[in-house]
Amino acid sequence: MHNTRHTTTGQRPRLTLVVPCFNEALGLAAFFDRLMLVLAQLPDYAHEIICIDDGSTDDTYAQLEWHAQRNPHITLVELSRNFGKENALTAGLDLADGDAVIPIDADLQHPPELILDMVKLWEQGADMVLAKRKTRNDTGKLQRWLTQGFYRLHNQLAECHIPADVGDFRLMDRQVVHSLQQLTERTRFMKGLYAWVGYKQVTIEFDVEPRRHGQSSFNARKLFQLALDGIVGFSTVPLYVWVGFGSVIAALSLVYGLWIVLSTLLFGISVPGYASILTAVLFLGGIQLIGIGVLGQYIGRTYKETKKRPIYLVRRLHRHTPSEITTP
């Protein structure tokens, strides 16, 4: 491969892989076997594999430690508790110092073989190479419908568009990673942050492989919260929507009130009774509660930011010294 990129060290270009792990003990051996076969096909590149144990409850850390003892290219990070995938990714990106950085899942649903194509496109000048899944046949119809609806809604409301069906699996140039490291908000929505920084992007497609071990830690509640973070974190349109909606309700209420007064004066029609009043009160009360909830999301995010708590805490960090790392 002909590398047109400048390296940060003046030596061989360096790839850093960021691997967040949560209860992945059963699949780590297969993951490293396939990954190392791919990296062996890139002899012109030095590499580092940063594995982040995000508070696993199985023996993920022990398995990672075993592999790290036998592979000096593996850096092992143990967080003090489960902070969530977005924060674990942030921990890995903060430590990444490669000329190109690739976040990848350890469950092999992200095929390591795609790294070869990513590197070629990076060498040709792309700052970010996005991996887009071809289909969502591995998910249920309801989840596919909700996911598509989220992308449409987010891209209509947010200041920056996120590409549909593109996750964390991508290659990023050192300059992109440096830009991401400057974004210090506590509530992380990485897909939005990737889109916000911009840079020259190209996309390649891949087939999602079935998960071989365990199950996804993302349940309906976590997915809903992630979607909410994506919209609230990158758009203030919901606030304007409720201002407009409240103005319309107020105008309609005024018109309806005038109609009742005129009808009573001109036609002697009695004022409607308790049923209509109760309906109006409950309707407006529901609207007010929803509006307060939307406002509360923004206030809550502001509250989190003002506390300035760390995005993550590291319990242990094991990184081999340069003298321990040999050419693969």
pLDDT at 158 over 90: no
Q: Name the residue among 250, 163, 233 with its Cα closest to residue 198.
A: 163
Question: pLDDT, tens digit, for every residue of 14-39?
Answer: 899 999 988 888 888 888 889 989 99
Q: Residue 181's pLDDT is what?
A: 87
Q: Name the residue among 111, 25, 49, 60 with its Cα closest to residue 318.
A: 49
Number of H helices, E strands in the chain: 10, 8
pLDDT at 156 over 60: yes
Percent of the chain with pLDDT over 90: 6
For residues 217 and 252, which has the higher predicted lDDT (pLDDT)?
Answer: 252
Residue spans of the domains in the chain: they are 14-217+310-323, 237-307
* 3-state class (DSSP) for residue 198: coil
| Phi (first) and psi of residue 183, to 5 degrees | -95, 105
CA atoms of 126 and 11, how far apart (whole Å): 21
How many CB atoms are closer than 10 A to CB 59? Answer: 14
Q: Residue 1's pLDDT is what?
A: 45
Q: Residue 16's pLDDT is what?
A: 92
CA atoms of 119 and 46, how far apart (whole Å): 13
Task: Give every CB contact of residue 161 below 8 A, 6+ residues apart in sequence.
Answer: 154, 155, 195
Q: Mean pLDDT in the chain?
A: 77
CA atoms of 142 and 255, how far apart (whole Å): 41
Question: pLDDT, tens digit, for every residue of 306-320?
Answer: 878 888 898 888 876
Q: Name the residue among 217, 208, 214 with its Cα closest to residue 111.
A: 208
CA atoms of 162 and 195, how far apart (whole Å): 6
Q: Residue 20's pLDDT is what?
A: 92
Helix (H) or strand (E) holding 43: none
Q: Residue 19's pLDDT is what?
A: 92
Q: Name the residue among 146, 135, 144 with its Cα closest to residue 224.
A: 146
How many CB atoms are closer than 10 A to CB 246? Answer: 14
Q: Mutual orientation of helices 28-39 and 60-70 as an angle, nearest 10°? A: 30
Helices within the chain (DSSP H only)? 28-39, 60-70, 85-95, 114-123, 141-157, 174-181, 190-197, 220-234, 237-267, 274-307
Predicted structure pTM score: 0.71
Find out if CATH 3.90.550.10 is the number for domain 14-217+310-323. Answer: yes
CA atoms of 223 and 219, how far apart (whole Å): 6
